[in-house]
Amino acid sequence: MESKKTTIIDIAKQLNVSKSTVSRALSDHHSIGLRTKMRVQQLAKELNYEPDQTAIFFKQRKTYLIGVILPTLSNTFFASIVSGIEDVGYNKNYTLLLGQSRDEEDREKKIVETMKDHRVDGILISMAKSTYNYEHFEMLKKNNIPTVFFDRIPQMQDIHFIASKLESGMLEAVNLLVKRGNKLIALINGPEKMPACKERYEAYIKALKQNKIKAEEKYVVHTDITVEGNNAAMKELLDLPKRPTAVIAFNDYVAMDVIHYAKRHKVKINKDITFISFANEAICNYMDHPPLASIEQFPYQQGAKAAETLLELLEQGSDENQKNFRNILLPSQLVVKVTK
């Protein structure tokens, strides 16, 4: 068990050459003679030499690390995104530094600091719910650390971001519902503050308009995404004088709850009321009464695309990074779960 790692200097001493010679010999520099090259390389192998990357990183100012900051991994959506990021990074020899903000602004800020301290080459962020102050994002800009936001985008000018465009999926959903004869289409949306909520609402309104259905406020209800909140939202809809014939739920989990609730209240799923939701999680495939369809947002692809975008930024000069800001919106897509 060799006690210490062998360095370039150890090799230099044993061979009575200078350490620069060793360095160049190992990197196959032309100004080193074949004989010495061989000797160095062989001894390096014998001594099990491995360059100290921290020294190299230190010298080259490049770490091959990319920071990933997101609310939590305990969420299939984000976990898939990270999975995509890692795959892309792996192929280009980048390693992920991971931090969960837990949706807390302070923790997010501290993680950003840590990432900067570790001199990551770039950062991918999905913002915490509670983040209202953007100074840590501004700081990244000032420090010229390439940053790409994904999914949860801050309201800032001149940033790179990538997100899923719900519009396309929502339109498909409404089209399908209308084609099946639905005219009273309700929306169970999430917490009003969330950008994702606002986006769904706008897409919903737009899709209705395209189908020449006039939107009615009472058919849009909100849930805080707890079981109780979900049930309450469904109750609200069921209590309406004219029940909706279709419900678009904030996501699959909400859909599961409200479907469960509706069943308990004698609603025939996808007959009396047709359900459609967001995310297209695997769970849907195992439900006895899954929603008719779910709008897939392709988290893995989103993560992969975000990583690719960041890596492109890294390859080009830092001047370019502050110019052409990439604002990428990936289309979502309706996936029909129940065919019959």
Partner DNA sequence: ATAAGCAGCACAACCGGTTGTGCTAAATAA
Partner DNA sequence: TTATTTAGCACAACCGGTTGTGCTGCTTAT
Q: Is 260 in the site for a copy of itself (CB under 8 A)?
A: yes
Enumerate residues 6+ apart whose C-beta is below 8 A from 251. Answer: 190, 277, 278, 279, 281
Say if residues 259 and 247 touch (Cβ distance below 8 Å). no
Under rule CB under 7 A, residue 316 binds DNA: no
Instruction: Report the nearest approach of DNA to the CB of residue 64 (Å).
Output: 14
Q: In the chain, which ranges are continuous DSSP H helix?
A: 8-15, 19-26, 34-46, 53-60, 76-91, 105-117, 135-142, 166-179, 195-210, 227-238, 252-264, 299-315, 318-321
329 contacts: CB under 8 Å, gap ≥ 6: 162, 163, 164, 165
Residue selected from 86, 121, 151, 172 as contacting a copy of itself according to rule CB under 8 A: 86
Q: How far apart are CA 208 and CA 29, in angstroms?
A: 67
Record the tokens describing residue 124, joined without a space: 């991918």
Task: Candidates 34, 157, 181, 340: give the one binding DNA (CB under 7 A).
Answer: 34
Number of residues that bind a copy of itself (CB under 8 A): 54
* Residue 54: alpha-carbon gap to chain centroid: 29
Restricted to residues 39-98, the positions that interact with DNA (CB under 7 A) are: 49-52, 55-56, 58-61
Residue 273: which of 242, 227, 229, 228 has the closest Cα? Answer: 242
- Which of the choices a copy of itself, DNA, none does residue 35 contact, using the CB cut-off of 5 to 8 A by kind? DNA
Closest separation in Å from C-beta 302 to DNA: 35
**Using the rule CB under 8 A, which residue among 32, 256, 267, 276 binds a copy of itself?**
256
Q: What are phi and psi of 310, to 5 degrees?
A: -60, -45
Q: Does 33 bind DNA (CB under 7 A)?
A: yes
318 binds DNA, rule: CB under 7 A = no
7 near DNA, rule: CB under 7 A: yes
Q: Is 130 in the site for DNA (CB under 7 A)?
A: no
> Would you count residue 16 as binding DNA (CB under 7 A)?
yes
Which are the contacts of 86, defined by CB distance < 8 A and separation ≥ 6? 96
Binding site for DNA (CB under 7 A): 5, 7-9, 16-21, 23-24, 26-27, 31-37, 49-52, 55-56, 58-61
Binding site for a copy of itself (CB under 8 A): 1-2, 5, 50-55, 57-58, 63, 65, 68, 72-76, 79-80, 82-83, 86-87, 90, 93, 95-100, 107, 111, 114-119, 142-144, 253, 256-257, 260, 283, 286-289, 300
